Structure formats: C-alpha cells, structure tokens
Chain A
Amino acid sequence: MSAKPKTKLTAKSAKKSAAKKPLLQAIKLNKSFGDFKANDDVSFQIFPGEIHALLGENGAGKSTFVKLVYGLLQPDSGALLWHGETILVRGPQQARQLGIGMVFQHFSLFNALTVAENIQLAMPPGESIAQLSGRISRISEEYGIGVDPNARVHNLSVGQQQRVEIIRCLLQDPKLLIMDEPTSVLTPQEAEQLFTVLRRFAEKGMAVLFISHKLDEIRALTSRATVLRRGQVVGSVNTKGQTNRQLAEMMIGTKVKDVARQKAPANAPVLFKVNGLTRPNETVFSVALNNISLCARAGEILGIAGIAGNGQDELMTALIGEWRGQQQGVMLLNGMDITQQGPAERRVSGVGFVPEERNGHGAVPSMSLADNALLTNHSLDGAARFGLIDLGGMRKKAAAIAAAFDVRLPGENPLASLLSGGNLQKFVVGREIIKTPKLLIVAQPTWGVDVGAAVFIRKAMLDLVSKGSAVIMISQDLEEIFAISHRVSVLHGGKLSAAVPAAKLTAQKVGLLMGGSAPVTGGSTPAAEASI
C-alpha cells in the first residue's frame, strides 16, 4: 500500500466520532461472489447530519457495499448496526422501513406517467393521487426541490427526473439517503442545485451517503470520505484536507498520471463532414435533429457537450448508421459519401464507434469477448471467410485488445457480463482504437467508469488523434469535455452549436448553452467552422 491515509484522520473528527453515536455502522462485512471477494472486512460508520462520500474504482466494492446496506444483497459475514443495534436487512422494503432510502444511478420511472403516478406506484396502497400530490408539493417546498406532481416524466429533464426519485425517497422519511453517482447526468448548475438540497438534508439531521467519482464534487460537498480499493477499506479521510490527486491516489493505489491534451495541428485536413443532418422524431420520447453540421479534423477531438435527452442518442445512431434517412451527401468521410452506408460498411470505410450503453448495445453481455470482438469486426478483413467465422483469430483479437487496454479478465475468453463496468468499457473502446480508425465516434466514453479506467481511455483517445485520426466525442461530462477536446460544440434540443476552441470556453458558458439559456449560435456551416 503506497498511500498511508489513515494517519490523516484528524483529531477533531475522531473526537466527533466518540461524542456522537453513529447512525449506521458496518463491522467487518464480507461478501464474496465465487472466488471474488467484493467486500473484504469492510468497516464503516456514518453519523447523523453527515454527508459522507464512498470513493473507489469500479469493482472496488462500492456497489456491493451499498447493496448490502440496502438489503439487495446479504453479507456472508459481519454485522450492520443501526443506531447501535444489530440489524438484518432482508430486502429494500425492510431498508426503507428502517429509514434507509436510495437513489439509483439509473432511474426507474415510467416515462408515460405523471410524477405523482410514478411515486404512487412505489408507495403503500391507499393514498389518492390528490393526497399524494399535496405531500409531494409540501416536501418539494420544504427542501426547495421544484417538481410539479402533475408533469409527465417524459417532459422532465434528467435532473428533474432525479429529483422525482429523491422525493420518492423522502416521502418514506429516511434517516439515511444513499445516492449512487447522482451527478453523472447533470449540468454544473443542476449539480449545484442538488448539492444545496443535500446540504439541507444534512442540516435537518439526515445522513447522506454519496457515491461519486468526481473528486471536485466530493471535496465541495462531503465532509468525510471512505475509500475502498479491491474490496477493502483503504481509509476514512477528511475530504477538506485532501487534494484531488491525493484522493485519486488512495483510490487507485498508484500515482495518477495526468492526461495532457496536445495542441491540435494548425490547418489540419477535414476528415469527416456532416452537412445539414435532419432527422424527424419517431416517438414523443425522441428528439428531432435539426440541420446538424459539424466537421472533424485529423489530429483533434471534437467534443459535443449537452445534457442527456437533447438528441445525443439520435445523433449517435445516425452517425453509426443504425438510422439512415432519405438524404444523400450529408456525411462525407474523406470526400466519400457514407450517408447511406450501414454500420458494417462504415466500419469498412474506416470509422469506429463506441455507443453510450455498453450492455446490450456496444457489447452482448451473454457472449464471450471473442464474440464481442466479432461484433464490430465481422465486416472487416480476416474475421470471416465464406461466411465462416475465424474463431481462433477472434479469440486472439480479444486477448490482444485485453492486453493492450489493460482489461482485467476473470478467466480465458470470459463472457462480457463477467467483466466489471470499467473493464468492459476499456474493452469496447479498445476494440475500436486497436483498429486505428480514421474516425472514432464515441458517446460517454467514461460513463460510470472509475478514475483509473477513465484516464486510460482518455489517454488512448488522445494517442489515437496524435496518429492523425479524428475523434468525435459526445459526452455529458463537462470535466471530460474540457480535459481532452480541442473544439467544443453543444447539443441542445436537437440543434448543434458552432464548434469553438476549448481554450476559449469556460464551464459556465458551456453550462448555459447546455441549459438552453443562451442562444445556440445557429446551425454551424462548414464555412463558419473553417474560419475558427
């Protein structure tokens, strides 16, 4: 162990712990899945009125730990103490009765129902919509969470949907609120609003367990953090006294290498051009794309910022070729019209894709890594001859991707579902980058991925552009956009703003564009882009 964070526990917080009784205490919790120890003697305590961060890489055991607390999993051994008394949490319902609420990373709301109807589904029967709406309004007022009980969920932004989830928890009057990666879908402004709400909870004596990878937020919001690494507690620290780098090092156990964005070459040739892409919306839940134009140049990353639900999925599936309209000549790769090419043909033309969702879109969880390698290689040379799959070759390819992109495998050629999120993402990204595509189009490349893997993936993308490829990165993570893109566009309501050099932008400016409060400066024409 390189870091010795335990010594950093300040005397003050130790005194505080002795004075106050912990709300929840875990003592030597163990949980194994087969041979894999997901939680190894994890001890932990959280006090009333405290906002406590749970930090750790993907696969470090954070999710397992909160699932044990929330009753979704049962520990192999160890004890949970609630107000000092041993408890057995058999299931989420019991957890809620005890006063433990949880907001998951992925929301479980029905788009076609109203807020009140969604909440009613989770409540014990017997309460009318009108009564419930009244309670929802009172709670939202009390905590300053603006949510209209009668709004339909599909009309709400992601941030608002999250508030619905929070209210659903609050109605059960929890003492402890667990939030799993809550800010990954929010604009900086929305995240700040969330923090205000969470601080108010803490003032009222409620404890918040906050899981996040974003170190800035953790330092801004929480007072203490417990860091997990490979299922073990590395230590609990006072977050205020730490730098991002120190926290990150505790998390991954090694020195963190910063990714440095190289300067984009001046006047690099345009590799890929989209000229007035328009896509009507198919359902009430989808977003129409309105006259989208962009160009990607050799040697640079074009970042497309924006909040989820502003046309990212629609743009991505149009760029992949899963959706093709009637238009011609809209997408030009090196001057070749690829508008009517399907995904397989576009790959032959030298484009690689990494969609946002790895499970079931970018990869098939129930299939082996070799089969998943075949998924985006089947149209390329060497994958198949006369319809016959080169199974050995695909196995070698999967192993090569794993070796080159530090994918940790639980066995030889495992099923994709056996890989942790971060490892599978490294595989899905690596599968494309290893081909050295002329153009790589990625969406949310580091979504739900730990710091170590995120740094790795970003570095791999920068290495790719340094070889003269172009990258288009659709991301809702502004930190990421600013960390590695050379130029930035913002997608809002199906319209794309003109690309601006990243150096000339501030987070606030982009945040405003993302929220739609500043005018999106028209459908950018290639001519306008060229002048930047």
Chain B
Amino acid sequence: MIVMIPRKKVPLGLTIAIPVIAIFLTLCIGAAIFGILGFSPLGALYEFFIAPVSRPDQIGDLFVKACPLIITATGLVFCYRANVWNIGAEGQLVLGAVFAGWVALNFPDLPGIIMMPAMIVAGVFGGICWAMIPALLKVRFNTNEILVSLMLTYVAALLIDWLVRGPWRDPMSFGFPLTKMYSDAALIHRVEIPGVGMLGQLHWGVVGALVLALIGWFVLSRMILGFQVKVMGDAPRAGRFAGFNPNFLTIGVMAIAGGAAGLAGMVEVSASMGQLQPNVSFGYGFTAIIVAFLARLNPIGVIFAGLIVALAELGGDNAQIVLGMPQVVTGVFKGILLFMLLAGETFNRYHIEWRGFAPPLNVPANPVKEQ
C-alpha cells in the first residue's frame, strides 16, 4: 500500500532536487523515445535543449518567446486563485492587439511618449472589454465563464481576421491580409545592454513582463486585494463572512486577467510583428493556462514556468527543422516534460511511504485482558 502524507515543511534541498530529477527523467524517457523512432537520442536532446539556447542571442529569443506567456499567465493566476475559470485569454489577447492596433493605425503621427502609453492603455482596455462579457454574464445571469470565455476566443479570432482582410487591410499589401506597418513610435524597441549590445530579439516588453510578474506576486501575497482573491477561491463562504463582495471580485480578477492578456497582445504585435495579421497569437492564451498551473499559481513561478514552456516550444521547432522530427513527437516530448514537472510537484507536497502489501500487524504475543 502506498500512502501519501502531506509534508508540513518542504526541505530546501528537495525543492531544488525534485525539478532536477524531473528533468533528468524527462531526458531519459525522451532519449528512449527518440532512440526507438530512429533518431540519435543524444543528438535529439541536444537539438531540443541545448541548441535553442547555445548562444547569448538565443537566450534573448527565449525570453521573447516567454514574454506573452509570462504576462498572460500572471493575469490568469488571479482568476484561477479566485476559482474563476477564464479559459479565454487567447481571445482577450487578440482584442488587446486589435485595440492597440487601432491607436497605432489611426494616429501614426503621435510622438512615442504619447503613443506607447496610449497603446498600452488601449491594449489593456481591449482585453478587459472582452473579459467583461463572460464576467458580467456570470455575475448577472450565473452563466458558465468557461464556456462563454472559450467561445469568445473564436469570435475574437474571426474579428481580427475580418479586420485585416477587410477594413484595416493595407491597400499596398498586394492582397495579403495585413495592415499597414506601425510607425516607429508604435514599436517596442530592443534592449541594448551596455557593453553587450543587443541580445537577440530581447525587447523592453520582456522587462515589462518580468516587472509585471513581480507586481503580481506582491499584490497576491502582500495586499488585501490578493488576500480577498485567495479567500474567495479557497472558501467563498468565509469570503462573504469577511465582507468581501464575490461579484466585485469576479469582475476584478477577470479584468486583471483580461487586461494582462490584452497587454500581452499589444506587446507581441508591437515588438515582434509591427503590423496586425490574422494570427497575432500562436495559442499563447491557451499555453499560458499551462504556464499558470505549472507555476502552481504563483506569479514568481510563472517566470520560470514561462521560460521552461518557451524552451520546450523553441526546442520542438528546432528539432522539427534540424532533424525533421514529426510535430507530434515534439508534442509528446513537451507533454512528458510537463507531466514530469507536475508529478514532481506532487512529491514536493507529499511524502510517500510504502507500507507493504497489507497494514502491518504487531499482535502482542499474549493478548492481555483489558485492565
């Protein structure tokens, strides 16, 4: 019988050892799978984990890939901590890109000092608007936020598709579904590190993402608002007893998540694309859900989880390009990595005991009569 006992305290060594063991096991299993499929195990692992981060500029690119995940997941953490299941960050992200794009495309001559804040506000506002639809419906009519937010994702995808093919299409795009390029003021620039120069595509949005995650952690662990969110998620009745307003909190966390997703959309377009196109997101809104849970709903953890997931994505792309590995195999490998990390998490929280096949019985040699 295997017994799981919750740990009262997690030893520091274990906190470090468990992810290391998890990654080691992933490598072993991955190597075995690659070997069975006829790829060189070590070569494949190299392409997966080492090649994508073997040069400083690639490390910069890793952060760029993680950027929208970190921003979006930080917002989602608030929702999930409050037991509000916003699955539609993808749509909120797209709306952020659209609203910010509207500013950039309609007022191309704004100076940078006004353009950037205006686009940030517009992006956040767009995400919030999209998130308010499921939030208000839930508060007013008790609809299911999972379904509403998920379905709105597809609406958002069709909306941007229509915009870039129709009213917002650049007449000079030779029929491609693309808007005009943003003016320079509407672009997020790359970070120039003194003495090092530019690090791949590393842009200021990444810095913003890291700061945002830190702010998220601070609000969640140190502020009354974060406390309200946690109480509402863990024990809604205790939240009402404390005097917290559940409707206000539902709307609040949806606004936080929607705003963050919208910001991620704005950053992604301004930093990496420079114009709107039918696909402004590559499933970041959905991947961010995994990131949030991999981080155990902790905004600091979101930074690391975002980087790990981004690495798996980049490694998968790289293995496909270099080795011609089928996409499904890279998908399986990514799955194994996440599975191992989450399983390791369980060992972090519980301590496992093997109790033999039956509960042990130490029957006293001669059962004494009671008293």
Contacts and interface: CB of A to CB of B under 8 A. Distances in A.
What DSSP secondary structure best describes chain A's contact surface? Answer: mixed
Nearest to A374: B227
A298 B358 CA distance: 61
B8 interface: yes
Given A76-B360, A86-B361, A343-B243, 16 more contacts: A34-B8, A43-B370, A74-B359, A79-B361, A320-B241, A342-B243, A344-B242, A347-B243, A360-B238, A363-B238, A365-B234, A365-B235, A375-B242, A379-B243, A384-B224, A388-B223
B364 A387 contact: no
A77 B234 contact: no
A266 B267 CA distance: 72
Nearest to A377: B242
A375 B241 contact: yes
A389 B241 CA distance: 19
Nearest to A383: B224
B370 A364 contact: no
> Which one of B362, B370, B371 has the greatest number of beta carbons of chain A within 10 Å?
B370
Interface in B226-281: 227, 230-231, 234-235, 237-238, 240-245
A75 interface: yes
A391 B234 contact: no
A353 B237 CA distance: 14
Nearest to B240: A322
A9 interface: yes
Contacts of A444: none
Contacts of B8: 34, 411, 418
Given A43-B370, A45-B370, A374-B227, A79 B363 contact: yes
15 contacts: A27-B367, A79-B363, A88-B361, A342-B243, A342-B245, A347-B243, A360-B235, A364-B231, A367-B230, A367-B234, A371-B231, A375-B242, A389-B223, A411-B8, A418-B8
B366 to A, nearest CB: 10
B225 interface: yes
Given A88-B361, A236-B370, A389 B227 contact: yes
> Which one of B224, B238, B369 has the greatest number of beta carbons of chain A within 10 Å?
B238
Interface string A352-383: 01010100111111110001001110110000
A28 interface: yes
Contacts of A88: 358-359, 361
A375 B238 contact: yes
B235 A361 contact: yes
A321 interface: yes
Interface of A: 6, 9, 17, 25, 27-28, 34, 43-45, 74-79, 81, 86, 88, 235-236, 320-322, 342-345, 347, 353, 355, 357, 360-367, 371, 374-376, 378-379, 384, 387-389, 391, 411, 418
Nearest to B351: A34
A343 B224 contact: no
Nearest to A45: B370
Nearest to A357: B237
A364 B241 CA distance: 11
A470 to B, nearest CB: 20
Nearest to B355: A74
Contact of A387 (B1, B224, B243): B224
B367 A345 contact: no
Nearest to B238: A364
B231 A375 contact: yes
Nearest to B218: A388
Contact of B238 (A361, A384, A391): A361
B223 A364 contact: no
A365 B230 CA distance: 12
Contact of B242 (A365, A366, A378): A378
A366 B234 contact: yes
B242 A236 contact: no
Contacts of A355: 241
A387 B223 contact: yes
Contacts of A357: 237
A364 B235 contact: yes
A435 to B, nearest CB: 15
B222 interface: yes
A43 B1 CA distance: 25
Interface string B286-302: 00000000000000000
Given A77-B361, A78-B362, A344 B243 contact: yes
> Which one of B5, B241, B359, B364 has the greatest number of beta carbons of chain A within 10 Å?
B241
Contacts of A345: 243
Contacts of B238: 360-364, 375
B242 to A, nearest CB: 5
B243 A364 contact: no
A388 B221 CA distance: 10
A351 to B, nearest CB: 11
Interface in B168-212: none
Nearest to B237: A361
A321 B243 contact: yes
A343 B367 contact: no
Contacts of B242: 343-344, 375-376, 378
Nearest to A323: B240
Contacts of A44: 370
Contacts of B361: 75, 77-79, 86, 88
Given A236-B370, A344-B243, A388 B359 contact: no
A451 to B, nearest CB: 24
B243 A27 contact: no
Given A362-B241, A384-B224, A75 B359 contact: yes
A67 to B, nearest CB: 13
Contacts of B370: 17, 25, 43-45, 236
Interface string B1-43: 1000100100000000000000000000000000000000000
A182 B225 CA distance: 42
A3 B235 CA distance: 42
Contacts of A6: 371
